[in-house]
Structure 1
Amino acid sequence: MRAAILEGPAAIHIGEAERPEPGPGQVRIRLEGCGVCASNVEPWEGQPWSTFPGAPGGLGHEGWGVVDAVGQGVADIAPGDRVAALSERSFAQYDVADAGRVAKLPPQLDGQPFPGEPLGCAFNIFRRSDIRAGQTVAIIGIGFLGAVLTKLASDAGARVIAISRRQESLDLARRYGAAETIPMDDHWAIIDAVKALTSEQMCERVIECVGKQWPLDLAGELIGFGGRLVVAGYHQDGPRQVNMQNWNWKGIDVISAHERDPHVQMRGLREAVDAVASGRIDPAPLYSHRYALDELGEALAATRDKPQGFVKALVMFS
């Protein structure tokens, strides 16, 4: 099979690799596509602890496609089933996954891309956020994840304040239900704007979706007394500092919303499948850029640099 191999910092080689065989309890998927995650960027650029070369297909964890082989003991999934998978080597033509880590895609989703992992993440983050009708929710960083969370929170009856760098991201947030938008350009101006919008009570919920120090600092300022600060951004480039005096004073709950329990991850994925299939949420406008496997380096650069109109990149195999 053809697979992407990370050979060094920002150096991807598309070459031949052995097609994986499913072991007991596993399925093999002939991939239709794989989403590109913002968390791919830093490993692609290289980190002090990185080792090379990476595994064929490595970094790819948002794949979907058609099962073409099953291992011993797999009873409820068959060749020909179209699925979304929670697997780890999907920047390749084939990947294997545990049978318990795939979700069947219903006919309503035929022909549609379905990067299940980030959609499932959004539903799990939403659950951990415990958003209720009438609350004011600030969402910091409106990319793919922030836009989906904006839709879920606004549909739950919350007033969403979307905060992001680019005007087009703020426009996107409006389309997905945000009641208010604030440019993410001046720390104190943002705080003053939220004070004005909330009669200085600040927000019952704040979801940080960026994964950098400043947005985390900002989240701590925007949360109100007794509120819940939800860390949805993936902080993987080193330690963070927080204003613990401020957090203590406000008596807030702080939630790291990155689920690691496979059963919880699958619950979120299945909820996402049901929501998209029913039309409750339409992520299609968020799939802004598509690339072939040979163009994976370009897809990663776009994910980092955010060209005009960018929300999310997909690598397509068919």
Structure 2
Amino acid sequence: MNLLTPVQTRTMKAAVVTGAGRLRIEEVPLPQPGAGQLRVRLEGCGVCASNLTPWAGPEWMQFPTEPGGLGHEGWGVVDAVGENVLNIAVGDRVASLGQHAYATHDLADENAVVRLPAEFDGQPFPGEPLGCALNIFKRSEIVAGQTVAIVGIGFLGALLTQLCVAAGGHVIALSRRPFSLDLARRSGARETILLDDHWQIIERVKRLTKGRFCDRVIEAVGKQWPLDLAAELTRERGRLIVAGYHQDGPRQINMQLWNWRGLDIVNAHERDPAIYIAGIRDAIAAIRAGRLDPLPLYTHRFPLERLDDALNMTRDRPDGFVKALVVFP
């Protein structure tokens, strides 16, 4: 095993969720990479909205979590590698798909990290959601001149707004928060609509599109009503892309509408780590090309000891909030 510097400590700090809305910071043994693995000394980890369901303490959730568990948007510097690691070296700065990144260190397989270019030094890089945005965009098949509605302008929706505008799409952004609509306008959205009255929204989009509705509609909220609305906004033979995280309960769909309009339905969630890695590489290329700029979207930063505040803010989404990061000195 190669080390960046002699290890001065055999322990690390890690967050452990002990119950609904409760956590503690523990000092735990520093993990050692096995064959094909590496260890990342983390600089930070993005806080994902998918954490909110386990944070709320559903019946199926088991507490306490593993140290660092739930964190999966980490980035940092490799400080140790195991045997048979061929393409990543100690000292490389990487984005990682490790699953215990609410901690100062995390392990990952070599094929679950992406080396970051030198011009990104000093910048946060939560690779998993950035790669997710690029994969959703790719499966949406946006081309210049299309009308694209994006339902939900959080971090993911804001990234997709940038990507769709850069591709020449005419974006209609929908959000319940005026702040998010202002953000979408700054990102190039042609129209913004407050998510309030279902039928008034439909009538407004109908007028904006001269009765045709939208070529592409990306649902990025993860709730029943926005999913229903997204289908109503999709034109005949249009494409409805489900990007929201629908894991808090079952959903119903209006199959009569979907069937009559002949909609193409894309569930844009991926589970293959190789596809996530490809998306992260695409995100790096998009940032370098100027098609994507996530830096203004990292609105709040917290130390590990305040992970509970970061999760609560991600849940409550106060004015001015887009994305929380846990960062380490």
State the TM-score, normalized to the length of structure 2. 0.95
CA shift, 1:278, in A, is: 4.1
Picking from 282, 293, 308, the partner of 1:282 is 293
Matched, 1:270 2:281: yes
Aligned to 1:91: 102
Aligned to 1:75: 86
Aligned to 2:116: 105
Unaligned runs of 5+ in 1: none
Task: After TM superposition, list the pairs within 5 Å mapping 1:1-318 onto structure 2.
Answer: 1-318=12-329
CA shift, 1:274, in A, is: 2.0
Looking at structure 2, the residues matched to 117 and 22 of structure 1 have their Cα atoms a distance apart, in angstroms, of 21
Larger mean CA deviation between 109-118 and 15-24 belongs to: 15-24
Looking at structure 2, the residues matched to 154 and 265 of structure 1 have their Cα atoms a distance apart, in angstroms, of 23
CA shift, 1:91, in A, is: 0.1
Looking at structure 2, the residues matched to 138 and 277 of structure 1 have their Cα atoms a distance apart, in angstroms, of 26
CA shift, 1:263, in A, is: 1.8
Looking at structure 2, the residues matched to 249 and 139 of structure 1 have their Cα atoms a distance apart, in angstroms, of 22
Q: Which amino acid aligns with 1:80?
A: G
Q: Which amino acid aligns with 2:61?
A: S
Cα distance per residue 1:249-301 (max 9 Å; x no partner): 00011111011122211110001122224443211100000000000000000
Cα distance per residue 1:53-76 (max 9 Å; x no partner): 111001100000000000110011
CA-based RMSD: 0.8
SS in 1 for 2:29: coil
Q: Which amino acid aligns with 1:271?
A: D
Cα distance per residue 1:187-246 (max 9 Å; x no partner): 111101100000110001000000000100101100110011000000010100000000
Aligned to 2:5: none
Looking at structure 2, the residues matched to 259 and 177 of structure 1 have their Cα atoms a distance apart, in angstroms, of 27
Aligned residues of 1:106 and 1:277 also touching (Cα < 8 A): no
Looking at structure 2, the residues matched to 269 and 300 of structure 1 have their Cα atoms a distance apart, in angstroms, of 24
Q: Which amino acid aligns with 1:276?
A: I
SS in 2 for 1:17: strand
SS in 1 for 2:265: strand
SS in 2 for 1:89: coil
Looking at structure 2, the residues matched to 250 and 20 of structure 1 have their Cα atoms a distance apart, in angstroms, of 53
CA shift, 1:80, in A, is: 0.4
Aligned residues of 1:64 and 1:84 also touching (Cα < 8 A): yes
SS in 2 for 1:236: coil
Unaligned runs of 5+ in 2: 1-11
Looking at structure 1, the residues matched to 286 and 59 of structure 2 have their Cα atoms a distance apart, in angstroms, of 40
SS in 2 for 1:300: helix
Aligned residues of 1:108 and 1:277 also touching (Cα < 8 A): no
Question: What is the aligned-residue identity percentage?
Answer: 63
CA shift, 1:79, in A, is: 0.6
State the TM-score, normalized to the length of structure 1. 0.99
Looking at structure 2, the residues matched to 199 and 280 of structure 1 have their Cα atoms a distance apart, in angstroms, of 29
Aligned residues: 318
Looking at structure 1, the residues matched to 229 and 67 of structure 2 have their Cα atoms a distance apart, in angstroms, of 38
Q: Which amino acid aligns with 1:202?
A: F
